[in-house]
Amino acid sequence: MSKPEIPERVFPKAKDDVASAKQHSLLPQTSDPAYRLAYADQDFLLRDDLRPVRFQLELLKPELLLDESNIGSTFVFYGSARIPAPDKADAILAAATTDTQRTIAERLKAKSHYYEVARELARIASSEAPATEDAKRQFVVCSGGGPSIMEAANRGAVDVGADTIGLNIVLPFEQAPNDYVTPHLSFNFHYFALRKMHFLLRARAVAVFPGGFGTFDEFFELLTLIQTGKMAMLPILLYGREFWERVVNFEALVEEGVVAPQDMDLFHYCETAEEGWAYVQKYYEENREKRWRKGRGDKK
């Protein structure tokens, strides 16, 4: 007697019902938007009332696709979208027509070496990531998907044939993914909050390079999550000590009593890719168990 064939499912797939609905005769009832299937009605999904549903979709879609891609953890790169690659720095300087523009161009050129540092760090992380028993891919390079430092990170992973993630966001001005983001790991967000959540859900190391408002937002939110005990501690590499100490007076925050002295241990200054990767390795060798901050008591 042959084995009975058990059907995989007994209900039609959602996409099949969408196709069936399109075949209905054109009647006043079927032509009205009210008759559309709710999940296939874009106008309905874009209503203000459906914001909670859109939040859920933006959380769920990348989570499912990253899980299907067997990604266990990420190495996140934050940094400016304006720092040029070294081979483009001179062109920016040459295009300056005023003293102010020249000063800014010179400062951007002075930071252009961080493009190569980010690229090399991504190369190392992508090629030396540890294997795990569950065969999940670890320290997959993840950036905001844009230009400059973000491009350098994705490019470094591609240099060694590794997949790499880009988390873009819709902005009033165009921000297309850079050429090095793996296509099936290239995501686009409407909500900054959901994008920032996906940066950190799988993050097991974070490299922060010089940057502006966006970099500050991401970096300080990360520090706040750890300081308040909402997130486990992880290695945070802060590249460009001269830059950061010029634009943020961390010691003054401690002296004013609004930040605890031990909070300065949440990040580690770095200048080279090798130094950064060595710190990440040492961190996990010394801290095999997850460490949590106790929160606002500011005591370890």
The rounded distance, in Å, linking the Cα atoms of 231 and 208 is: 18
The answer to whether residue 299 scores a pLDDT higher than 60 is no
pLDDT at 134: 83
- Residue 99 within a domain: no
- Residue 105 within a domain: no
Instruction: Give the total number of structural domains in the chain.
Output: 1
- Residue 71 within a domain: yes
Task: Map residue 57 onto helix, strand or coil.
Answer: helix
Query: pLDDT tens digits for 160-170?
Result: 999 999 999 99
- Residue 72 within a domain: yes
pLDDT at 72: 95
- Residue 231 within a domain: yes
pLDDT at 25: 77
The answer to whether residue 1 scores a pLDDT higher than 70 is no
Q: Which domain holds residue 139?
A: 55-83+113-286
Note if the pTM is more than 0.85.
Answer: yes
- Residue 28 within a domain: no
- Residue 299 within a domain: no
The answer to whether residue 116 scores a pLDDT higher than 90 is yes
pLDDT at 70: 95
Query: pLDDT tens digits for 56-75?
Result: 999 999 999 999 999 999 99
CATH number of the domain residue 71 falls in = 3.40.50.450
Report how far apart the first and last C-alpha atoms of the chain are (Å, whole number): 68
The contacts of residue 187 (CB under 8 Å, 6+ apart) are 61, 62, 65, 145, 165, 166, 167, 168, 198
- Residue 22 within a domain: no
Q: What is the mean pLDDT of residues 182-208?
A: 97
Residue 300's pLDDT band (cuts 50, 70, 90)? very low
Smallest Cα–Cα separation from 82: which of 61, 55, 111?
111
Q: Provide the CB-side half-sphere exposure for 281 (13 A, CA).
A: 12
